[in-house]
Amino acid sequence: MRQKLVAGNWKMHGSLSENRALLGELRAALADVRNMACAVCVPFPYLAQAQDVLTDSAIAWGAQQVSEFAKGAYTGEVSASMLLDFGCRYVIVGHSERRALFGETDQVVAAKFVAAIGAGLTPILCVGETLSEREAGMAESVIARQLDAVLNVAGMSGIARAVIAYEPVWAIGTGKTASPEQAQAVHAFIRQKLAVLDMEIAGRMIILYGGSVKAANAAELFSQPDIDGGLIGGASLVADDFVAICKAAQF
């Protein structure tokens, strides 16, 4: 059985004092969580704080993006090895907001993925279609294209070191969740696509669902056979909600 994972994506929210309270509440409330993994992906400036509060807790931490470059004259960029310096285990790669708002192409996402695994981080690779792509019947082809860009450079041995997050763009931050059946169908598609290349790796791949997951819908989503947990935006900023979602992933 695959272990479930629930990861929070705080986006550009928080402050030192708010985060200290939230991280402390999560640390205490999730101390007895069993049979699942949880993590929070915080803004870069708060990685040291996450490391400080969460070390030796049940919660791992990570960043929301990473440079594709290892070092050099790239003003404003943060490398994978810098994230490791702050104890990160995870880094989100290819979030739809990065793709849509910051021009990250499939190729850039793939390069960031390679940089992350090269440093020993676990990328949480986001894939997903927009509403118009879904309505045009293109959801699977878009996701296949996004996965192929990474497979072409990292192969199945690279994918095996990652977590995939299916995040339909139309469900992110909109309050519109994919139904468990809709999400399951895409997760099964992703797993089958990977199984064509390597059945064993596909079988143990953790595939998260993200898009307006809440305490009220988490258990039903996570009970689908190919949904191995969630990537949680808004609800990860509210301790009780995030804790309830993590607990919904326990078996």
Q: Under the rule (CB under 6 A), what is the footprint of ligand PEP?
A: 9, 167, 172-173, 210-213, 231-235
DSSP symbol at 228: -
- Among residues 95, 97, 104, 129, the one annotated as catalytic is 95
> What phi and psi, each to the nearest 5 degrees, are found at residue 228?
-105, 25
Give residue number: closest CB to ligand PEP: 233
How far, in Å, CA of 141 to CA of 153, rounded?
19
- Among residues 97, 104, 167, 187, the one annotated as catalytic is 167
DSSP symbol at 179: P
Nearer to ligand PEP, 9 or 67 (CB): 9
Strands, DSSP E only, in 64-150? 90-93, 122-127
Neighbours of 27 (CB within 10 A): 17
Whether 167 is a known active-site residue: answer yes
DSSP symbol at 11: -
Nearer to ligand PEP, 184 or 212 (CB): 212
How far, in Å, CA of 127 to CA of 120, rounded?
21
Nearer to ligand PEP, 162 or 172 (CB): 172
To ligand PEP, the closest distance from the beta carbon of 137 in angstroms equals: 23
Q: Supply the angle between the helices 139-159 and 106-119 in degrees, to the nearest 10.
A: 20
To ligand PEP, the closest distance from the beta carbon of 56 in angstroms equals: 27
Whether 13 is a known active-site residue: answer no
Neighbours of 81 (CB within 10 A): 15
Nearer to ligand PEP, 118 or 180 (CB): 180
Nearer to ligand PEP, 188 or 215 (CB): 215
To ligand PEP, the closest distance from the beta carbon of 247 in angstroms equals: 17
To ligand PEP, the closest distance from the beta carbon of 106 in angstroms equals: 18
To ligand PEP, the closest distance from the beta carbon of 72 in angstroms equals: 30
| Token pair in block for residue 50 | 């996450």
Sign of CA dihedral 212, 216, 220, 222: positive
How far, in Å, CA of 140 to CA of 249, rounded?
26
Positions annotated as catalytic residues are 95, 167
